[in-house]
Structure 1
Amino acid sequence: MKPVLSIEFCISCGYEKRALTLMETFVRLYKNDVSSFNLIPSSGGAFEIKFEDLLIFSKRSEDRFPITEELLRTLDEKIRDKK
């Protein structure tokens, strides 16, 4: 079974566009490797990215937004490990 990739994002903080743009990149690059791409509206400043049940980035923990290149490196590694 292929893995699931999700982005939880804060609606009241206005993070929708950032989440959508990042998810578009994920879909374009990983459409053959991931079974489901989920956008999860949330609150409280959330911008959390999960691969399966593994949290691969947390804005709450890092106190910053992710750098796309760092996420892609991490996802490439996780997807390669799944194969």
Structure 2
Amino acid sequence: MTPRVEINYCTQCRWLLRAAWMAQELLTTFETELGEVALVPGTGGVFDVRLDGELIYSRKEAGRFPESKELKQLVRDRIAPERDLGHSDRKP
């Protein structure tokens, strides 16, 4: 079974475009590794990212939105730890 990412975003805050952009970034980076990226509408300022049900990023907990690079690293570390993300990767 291939990994599934869920991006739960706040419709009241109009964060659909941000969620869609993050989904595009993940799908472009992990073309063969991810099976699905779902956009899940919510309310109350939510912007959470889950990988196979596990919360990997919460805007409320972090106090900010994730950077694209940061989210790619979080996903990579769980589904393809040996993978190099090129310019998006951490510096040693």
Whether TM-score is above 0.5 comes out as: yes
Structure 1 counterpart SS, 2:76: helix
Match of 2:63 in 1: 63
Match of 1:34 in 2: 34
Letter in 2 for 1:39: L
Identity of paired residues, percent?
26
| Length-normalised TM-score, structure 1 | 0.90
Letter in 1 for 2:34: V
> Which has the larger displacement, 63-72 or 7-16?
63-72
| Length-normalised TM-score, structure 2 | 0.82
| Structure 2, gaps ≥5 residues long | 82-92
Letter in 1 for 2:58: S
Question: Using the alignment, how far apart are the partners of 1:64 and 1:80 within structure 2?
Answer: 25
Match of 2:22 in 1: 22
- Following superposition, the deviation at residue 31 of structure 1 comes to 2.4
Letter in 1 for 2:55: L
Question: Using the alignment, how far apart are the partners of 1:32 and 1:66 within structure 2?
Answer: 23
Match of 2:73 in 1: 73
After superposition, the CA RMSD in angstroms is 1.1
Match of 2:85 in 1: none
Letter in 2 for 1:65: F
Q: Bigger radius of gyration, 1 or 2?
A: 2
Letter in 2 for 1:4: R
Question: Using the alignment, how far apart are the partners of 1:36 and 1:20 within structure 2?
Answer: 13
Deviations 1:2-23 (A, max 9, x none): 1101100000101111001111
Question: Using the alignment, how far apart are the partners of 1:75 and 1:5 within structure 2?
Answer: 9
Question: Using the alignment, how far apart are the partners of 1:57 and 1:76 within structure 2?
Answer: 13
Give the length in aligned residue pairs: 81
| Structure 1, gaps ≥5 residues long | none
